[in-house]
Amino acid sequence: MTDTRPGRLPASGHRPGRPGPFFARDRGHHPPALWPDYKTSVARSPRQPLLSFENTLSEITGPLFSLRDLGPQDNDLLSNFATEGQPIGERMLLHGQVLDQNARPVPGVLIEIWQANAAGRYRHVNDGYRAPLDPAFGGCGRTVTDSEGRYFFRSIKPGAYPWPNATDSWRPAHVHFSIFGSGFAQRLITQAYFEGDPLIDRCPIAGSIPDPAARNMLVARLDMENSVPFDMLAWRFDIVLRGRRSTCFENRPEGN
């Protein structure tokens, strides 16, 4: 899936550094909690200073995830819901690597994804978009990173869809990611867009990220080297957990 030859840089382009303290937070890297162009952030953003609580023992000591916890099709959205037939749409391989701030791989990370189908509709009771549901596509999957921090999913490239943020607002095609650490208190949430999508620059959610370089880190790159001939294109999305180079996470607007 990835090039692991000696001397090769990770696809993120970050050179591995020596172990040391965490990099300082760059608070201009992450989106503010309140972004008026994103309408629901007006109601959801905190009005008072945030409070910090100590974690309980159960929150920091488990669970630990392994491949033994997964079903054989958990990371294959082409087959993990269908009872017959195949999902409709552009087949894709979505893969990457989970890295720390020094570009070292992070093994044993549970990754869950959810997404709309090729028509832009979620299999959710509250999704009222008039696009059809796909009877062979559930839109959810999970996997655990291997010893080199790598993961992959087989799926359908999601479609764009309208949303009631403003007149004729459309969300770019995207896949939601949930990343778990070694305890329940260690959960990060983000989403991956797709290279070349013109709707990214029109999206107020993506636009809430002040740094264009940080916004660009949420874009999965077309990866022809790992595409499957006559079957599916590959897209690469690496996730950096902390530091100045961190991927932007929706539930950590203050930084990591």
Q: What is the mean pLDDT of each run of 10 residues along the chain (256 residues)?
A: 34 43 64 88 87 80 78 95 95 97 91 98 94 97 95 98 91 96 83 97 92 93 97 97 82 56
Residue type, 25: R
pLDDT tens digits, 83-103: 999 999 999 999 999 999 888
Active site residue 161: yes
pLDDT value of position 30: 76
Catalytic status, residue 174: yes
- Could you tell me the two tokens for 94? 């979505």
Question: Looking at 171, 236, 242, 245, which residue is catalytic?
Answer: 171
How many residues appear in the chain?
Answer: 256
State the DSSP code for 236.
E
Verify cis geometry, omega within 30 degrees of 0, for the bond prior to 63: yes
Condensed to tens digits (0 to 9), the pLDDT of residues 111-142 reads: 999 999 999 999 999 999 999 999 999 999 99
79, 175, 248, 253 from 210: Cα distances, Å: 39, 21, 11, 12
Q: What is the pLDDT of residue 133?
A: 96
The pLDDT value given to residue 33:
85
Contact 156, 91 (CB under 8 A): yes
What's the rounded Cα separation, in Å, for the pair 66 and 75?
Answer: 14
Catalytic-labelled residue, pool 30, 176, 215, 245: 176
All domains in the chain, ordered by first residue: 62-240 (2.60.130.10)
Catalytic residue among 161, 236, 242, 245: 161
Residue whose pair of structure tokens reads 């999965």 in the numeric block: 220
